[in-house]
Structure 1
Amino acid sequence: MASTDGLVPITRAFLSRYYDKYPFTPLSDDVSRLSTDLRAMANDLRNEFPASPGEEFLVREADSHPPHKMDENMWRNREHIEEILFLLEKSHWPRLLQQQSTSEYIEIVAALGDLQVKLKNTLKTLESFQSKNADSIFNTVMTYMPQDFRGTLIRQQRERSERNRQAEIDALISSGGSIRDRYALLWNQQMERRRQLAQLGSATGVYKTLVKYLVGVPEVLLDFIRQINDDEGPMEEQRQRYGPSLYSLTSMVLSIRLFLLLYWGRFETRKPHKDQLAVLEQAVHVYTSEFERFLKFISEVFANSPFLISAEDAGALESRKNDDYKETIILPGKTYEVSLTVESANSYIAWEFSVAQGKMNMDIGFRVEYSSPSGETIMILPYRRYESNQGNFCTLMGGCYKLIWDNSYSTFFKKSLRYKVDAVHPVVDALQMAADGS
């Protein structure tokens, strides 16, 4: 059993500096280009023939933003890949294509075979990533657990729980559940694991005593479990660094699925367009290669990231973090602004500030604006008065963003502003449910 003496859970400041060592090479520009092309072709198909309710449901999903949680995006990619493979099975091809009556149809069938191979390989890579990551996290946690009968009981309990969850999945499949139903259940199971972790981490009183001493869970692991998945906790750093690339890939695979579904639904009423098939082939190639590259990269990041760090390191990181703050005085009737220029979309702009006048907290107006190259001003965050605030947003376009603190309404009082702002460029484009990102 590894000692936890002097250790504390990883902090967001620690992960920020840790991730600095792991910049992700941005996704290929083809991801954005081909996603746009696929959506345009999908819209053309919808204009040719009205969409069915099932098709419209998928259109609405494609129009929505991908989930913010990293692991939920992994499950979504896995689901969409399986749905595409379902459409690529011969029994689900359009009737004319199944007959392969012309050389053109034979050529299409050969291309579909190549797409199936690429997608099956990517699906296998993703399944392996999720399985290995879950085992790695569990085994890491177990190094801090008692290496006696209690550790054995915990392993047996995990195996039993996973068998029960698999039995739920098998029962759903046997009853005719769809791919979507299966992944909804898988995600519910993932969230149930997380709820159980949260309950364990928040244990109090007699139950906490039992958890700590009878089961042998160290206090520091309970602290880790309790705070790791908080919305603004340590994993938010991971979401901001690597999330935008994963979100783009989620959108891309959904665009592939939507186009193929619409294409199949109208195949018999139109002559196949070779240029559309070529875009689909290129899109699958780019998606599978970029997604597998992302999985390989994030696997290394996860494998080397600790759960616990020394209290001394955490304190030093907090001190350096605090040193990043700046201070300024904003006179009555005046404003103060900080301009940040970002070169591309999917950057993150973040801020944190507080206002004080002597020992008495006071508020100040604050807003965020975007200035386009033509000089047009777009409000990003509307004006509001705060004593303190922290927040962030993902940019939709490159350009100049202004963070403005407004003391113009004050006649007599100057404001002492302590702040920190930053632009996190797409490093990318900038415990399974714990360290694998939520």
Structure 2
Amino acid sequence: MGSNRGLVPITRALLSSYYDKHPFPSISDDVSTLSQQLHNLSNHLRNTSLPLLEGERLLLKEVESQPPHKIDENMWKNREQIEEIIFLLESSHWPKSLKIQSTPEDIELARLLNRLKEKCEGTLKVVESFQYKNSENVFNTVMTYMPQDFRGALIRKQRERSERNKKAEVDGLVNSGGTIGDKYALLWQQQMERRRQLAELGCARGVYKTVVKYLVGVPQVLLDFVRQINDDHGPMEEQRQRYGPPMYALTKMALNIRLFISLSWWRFEDIKLQKHQISILEKTVSIYTSELERFLDFTGEVFANSPFFVTAEEAGAIEAINNDDYKEASVPAGTTHEVSLEVESVNSYIAWDFSITQGTMSMDIGFSIEYTNSSGHKTLILPYRRYDSDQGNFCTIMAGNYKLIWDNSFSTFFKKALRYKVDCIPPVVEPEAEERRTI
């Protein structure tokens, strides 16, 4: 079991610092140019006398909408569109006259379509491999901080069983006649279920939290990590801002390829594909597959080496640059520095993060937390201990005064330069509870 002592979950600021070292080379200008050209060709096709099919209307609406915001959802979306494109490029789904290949032009087009299908099949394997490796990397990293005894083995077996059940569910849907769209709707639903379960684990409270932490052996740093990693404004938002734009452009490109082929097949008997249209389609598929594979190759390496947990010192150093909420105090020898918080509601969270600034002779300070009720009775919440840095939080079970104390009384000569942040977060009121309270 890897040591989690002194570790905190990755922060957005530190992830930003990591990504600064790994800028993605600009995506090819051909992506937007060819996407637009193919979209224009699709507009020409749909302006004919033939009405749009229901599926084509839905696809057109998706093409003209914004791509999903999340990186992983875009991965699933691209994978879905590639499978849909491969489906259309299979000879059994060609227009009737093209299947016959009665002209030299049809024979040449058939050869091209087979080449494009092979390109898409190769890219599909790259996307599947990327998703699998990314998932395994996250799981194996998390497992290094889990107990390496029977409990860890049980967690691995439970995951394997869960994944087998999910695969069986997908296979059952496909075998019963489900469409490619149905399949990927289920796959994304399963992905969101994994995320929901992680979020619930991270938000565990009371007795359940005790069971999770001490019987199963999940360290607190993991609970904190899974709770906040996918927040809309959490660390992954930095990933979306850095690497989202090229991914969004590629998602658009895949949708335009599928829309054009779909419209062309439905109208093929009346409107034969022209050489310039075929040329644009070939270039678009070629650029799409090469740019997507380049993007996955780059981000796969970046994501695999991205830190999940960092030391409190590292987090503090980065936050010092990016966050103005921190305060600084000089704690002379033989004195203390105290912060008092008046807590009005139980189940509030008190959180702290502090470090001793570089440059002082002695790099630690005493720290403790005490509670005082309305009668003046004091209770020690966090026993005195000396730290060079610490980050933590706890859920209050009583309203009243909480005092955080940094103690330099053991030092005879040296003052301590303290940098700290303290927050008191009120309890989150569930919607149903809030509704009952206002009735």
- Residue equivalent to 1:235: 236
- Looking at structure 2, the residues matched to 51 and 43 of structure 1 have their Cα atoms a distance apart, in angstroms, of 11
Aligned to 2:179: 178
Deviation at 1:320, TM superposition (A): 1.1
Q: What RMSD over aligned residues (CA atoms) do the two structures have, in Å? A: 1.2
Match of 1:31 in 2: 31
1:396 corresponds in structure 2 to: none
Q: Which runs of 5+ in 2 are unaligned?
A: 327-439
What is the match of residue 198 of structure 2?
Answer: 197
SS of corresponding position for 1:268: coil
Question: What per-residue deviation string (whole Å, max 9, x for no partner) do you get for residues 46-67 of structure 1?
Answer: 0123212211111001010000
When structure 1 is superposed on structure 2, of 42-51 and 214-223 the one drifting more is 42-51
Q: Which amino acid aligns with 2:272?
A: K
Q: Distance in 2 between matches of 1:74 and 1:137?
A: 16
Instruction: Give the alignment's TM-score, normalised by structure 1.
Output: 0.73
Residue identity in the other structure for 2:29: D
Which secondary structure state, in structure 2, belongs to the residue aligned with residue 254 of structure 1?
helix
- Equivalent in the alignment of 2:252: 251
- Could you say which residue in structure 2 is the equivalent of 1:357? none
Letter in 2 for 1:5: R
- Taking the aligned partners of 2:239 and 2:95, their CA distance within structure 1 comes to 43
Deviations 1:314-348 (A, max 9, x none): 111111113699xxxxxxxxxxxxxxxxxxxxxxx
Indicate the SS of the match to 1:206: helix
1:386-397 equivalences under 5 Å are none
1:4-403 equivalences in 2 (<5 Å) = 4-48=4-48, 49-322=50-323
Give the distance between the partners of 1:89 and 1:114, measured in 2 at CA.
11
Distance 1:98 1:186 in 2: 33
Q: Post-superposition, which runs of at least 4 consecutive aligned residues in structure 1 deviate over 3 A?
A: 322-325
Give the secondary-structure state (helix, strand or coil) at the position aligned to 2:35: helix
The AA in structure 2 aligned to 1:46 is R
Secondary structure, counterpart of 1:272 in structure 2? coil
> C-alpha deviations, 1:20-76, integer Å up to 9, x for none?
000000110000000000110000000123212211111001010000010000000
> Matched residues in 2 for 1:271 and 1:133: separation?
43
Deviations 1:255-312 (A, max 9, x none): 0000000011110012321110110000000000000000000001111111100001
Measured at CA, do residues 39 and 324 of structure 1 come closer, stay the same or move farther in structure 2, by a change above 3 Å?
farther
Distance 1:137 1:270 in 2: 50
The separation in 1 between residues aligned to 2:219 and 2:59, in whole angstroms, is 46
Task: Flag the 1:275–1:164 CA change in 2: closer, same or farther, 3 A.
Answer: same
Long gaps (5+) in structure 1: 326-438
In the TM superposition, what is the alpha-carbon distance from 1:170 to its structure 2 partner? 1.1
> Tell me, what secondary structure is at the counterpart of 2:8?
strand
CA distance in 1, matches of 2:273, 2:132: 40
AA of the residue aligned to 2:38: L
SS of equivalent to 1:309:
strand
> Structure 2 CA distance, aligned partners of 1:168 and 1:271?
41
SS at 1:32's partner residue? helix
2:126 maps to amino acid? T
The SS at the match of 2:323 is helix
The verdict on how the C-alpha distance between 1:267 and 1:324 changes in structure 2, with shifts beyond 3 A counting, is: farther
Take 1:24 and 1:186, find their aligned partners in 2: how far apart are those partners?
28
Paired AA for residue 28 in structure 1: S
The one-letter code of the counterpart of 1:34 is L
Residue 30 of structure 1 aligns to which amino acid in structure 2?
Answer: D
The CA deviation string for residues 363-401 of structure 1, in whole angstroms up to 9 with x for no partner, is xxxxxxxxxxxxxxxxxxxxxxxxxxxxxxxxxxxxxxx
CA distance in 2, matches of 1:272, 1:304: 46
Partner Cα distance (2:272, 2:81) in 1: 27
Deviation at 1:133, TM superposition (A): 1.0
**C-alpha distance in 2 between matches for 1:271 and 1:237:** 46
Per the TM alignment, residue 128 of structure 1 is displaced from its structure 2 partner at its CA by 0.5
After superposing the two structures, state which structure 1 stretch, 312-321 or 119-128, moved more. 312-321
Deviations 1:116-144 (A, max 9, x none): 11100000000011111111111111100
Name the CA shift for 1:130/1:205 in 2 (closer, same or farther; >3 Å).
Answer: same
> By how many angstroms is 1:174 displaced?
1.4
Q: Secondary structure at the match of 2:269?
A: helix
Distance 1:306 1:111, change over 3 A: same
Distance 1:24 1:271 in 2: 40
- Distance in 2 between the 1:262 and 1:234 partners? 41
Output the CA distance in 2 between the equivalents of 1:95 and 1:269.
12
**Which letter maps to 2:174?**
I
Aligned-partner residue type, residue 290 of structure 2: S
d(CA) in 1 for partners of 2:231, 2:271: 51
- One-letter code aligned to 1:220: V
Could you tell me the TM-score, scaled by structure 2's length?
Answer: 0.73
Between the aligned residues of both structures, percent identity stands at 66
Cα distance in 2 for residues equivalent to 1:3 and 1:86 = 49
